[in-house]
Amino acid sequence: MTLNHTHDPATRSWLASANAAGTDFPIQNLPFGIFKPKATPALDWRAGIAIGSDVLDLPALAATGLLQGLALSTAQAGAADALNPLMAIGPAAWQALRHAVFALLKADASAAVQTQVSACLHGQADVEMRLPARVGDYTDFYTSIHHATHIGKLFRPDNPLMPNYTWVPIGYHGRSSSLQVSGHGLRRPNGQTMPPGATSPTFGPCKRLDWEVELGVFVGTGNALGEPIALGQAEDHVFGICLLNDWSARDIQAWEYQPLGPFLAKNFSTTLSPWVVTMEALAPYRVAMERPDNKWDDLPYLASDANRQQGALDIQLDIGIASEAMRQQGQATHVLCTTSYRHAYWTLAQMVTHHTVNGCNLQPGDLLGTGTLSGPESTQAGALIELTQGGKLPVAMPDGSQRTFLLDGDEVTMRGWCQRDGAARIGFGDCRATVLPAMSI
């Protein structure tokens, strides 16, 4: 993906909120989501593009006559309650619509255009969002070697990093039915745990509820069963990226995870941000891969110069807590981790290629999680289990309390953004949920 005029940081919009300092949604971003006005009937969902503090209604825009050709047919594919039809069309269509919308929102658009487009805008405060896509399959990878090493030390002190890690982009098949969009409650799960020193397990609410700072990668065009996607084509199959919090029940996980891996410790819920930032919008923030072990002899199907030099993305991420007491006092979220996707050992293209190398088919709207994106520093720990070293080192909260793992009433907010000299700052919006008490059984 090369840079073009839609990445020019000097471009302004006639919509004032799109030019506000620090906005997540300037004209250079244009992420996609599924929304409905709060005032309309329950099933009236459709696709929109976030711009400033507003949402641009794509089916309404298609009806104005302002779009032609591929941009028009792509906007018409937004007349659905999920982005899957729009995701399936492919990169030329996504680009045609992005460039047409960019032209309509630019500061030099005619007064007539501004009037027509204004009629297609809704305030973000006046709409509800839902999951961007109907996710058929969800796979969670494990692409941060820093996270894998830190977690490995806690679960297996003598053998933290398994020998396959630096050869295989490891993943497991997750659960799509429990994906939730930002803003929903997160119910504390019940489950089996084996307390230290006990000889039989106990049952009850999870006592070690944790988050995982990840990104969610939405598949656009899929591949036919039996036909792998080569590394050089992998990103053509990716529609875009959102924020993903992979809630984890560490006490349940420790007891159940061997030998088949994550099960009930992970599948009770995963929260996604509602806006999907496209690969074209992310083009200015490409960076070279980083590998702390300096190992570069990947098998040929996972290796290319382009991937090594530009396959990583500098997407900055943070996550924090606002307890119930803090929220009552009007205190801001207490950020406990700031990290970046650039520290991942395996790139997005390598995830796609590895997933399909055996012939497995990906479908439009499938979701790939990156795995917890911890960086090399202790402040870049993407999960509480790492930050507190397995619950041994509590962190202090602004309300005077302490945390090792999450308490009921904690509101967890994850944010993501891209920023560098010579490019606009673009953001992902929030990925937020509040911990609700466990149900009795």
Quick one: which segment of 1-9, 57-65, 238-246, 285-293 binds Ca ion (CB under 5 A)? Answer: 238-246
Considering the complex, state which of residue 278 and residue 374 has its C-beta at the smaller distance from Ca ion.
Answer: 374
- Kindly state the smallest distance separating residue 402's Cβ from Ca ion, in Å: 25
- Kindly state the smallest distance separating residue 269's Cβ from Ca ion, in Å: 12
Please count the residues of this chain forming the interface with Ca ion, following the rule CB under 5 A: 3
Cα angle for residues 403, 332, 380 (degrees, 5° grid): 55
- Please tell me whether residue 366 binds Ca ion under the rule CB under 5 A: no
- Please tell me whether residue 386 binds Ca ion under the rule CB under 5 A: no
> What mask of x and - would describe binding to Ca ion in positions 124 to 153, judged by CB under 5 A?
----------------x-------------
> What mask of x and - would describe binding to Ca ion in positions 257 to 296, judged by CB under 5 A?
----------------------------------------
Q: What does the block give as tokens for 297?
A: 């002899």
Considering the complex, state which of residue 57 and residue 212 has its C-beta at the smaller distance from Ca ion.
Answer: 212
- Please tell me whether residue 246 binds Ca ion under the rule CB under 5 A: yes
Considering the complex, state which of residue 212 and residue 410 has its C-beta at the smaller distance from Ca ion.
Answer: 212
- Kindly state the smallest distance separating residue 260's Cβ from Ca ion, in Å: 16
- Please tell me whether residue 210 binds Ca ion under the rule CB under 5 A: no
User: What's the rounded Cα separation, in Å, for the pair 80 and 131?
Assistant: 12
- Kindly state the smallest distance separating residue 214's Cβ from Ca ion, in Å: 6
User: What's the rounded Cα separation, in Å, for the pair 263 and 257?
Assistant: 7
Quick one: which segment of 22-30, 195-203, 206-214, 229-237 binds Ca ion (CB under 5 A)? Answer: 206-214
Q: Could you say which of 7, 122, 146, 147 is catalytic?
A: 147
147 catalytic per annotation: yes
- Please tell me whether residue 212 binds Ca ion under the rule CB under 5 A: yes
Q: List residues binding Ca ion (CB under 5 A).
A: 140, 212, 246
Q: Which residues are catalytic?
A: 147
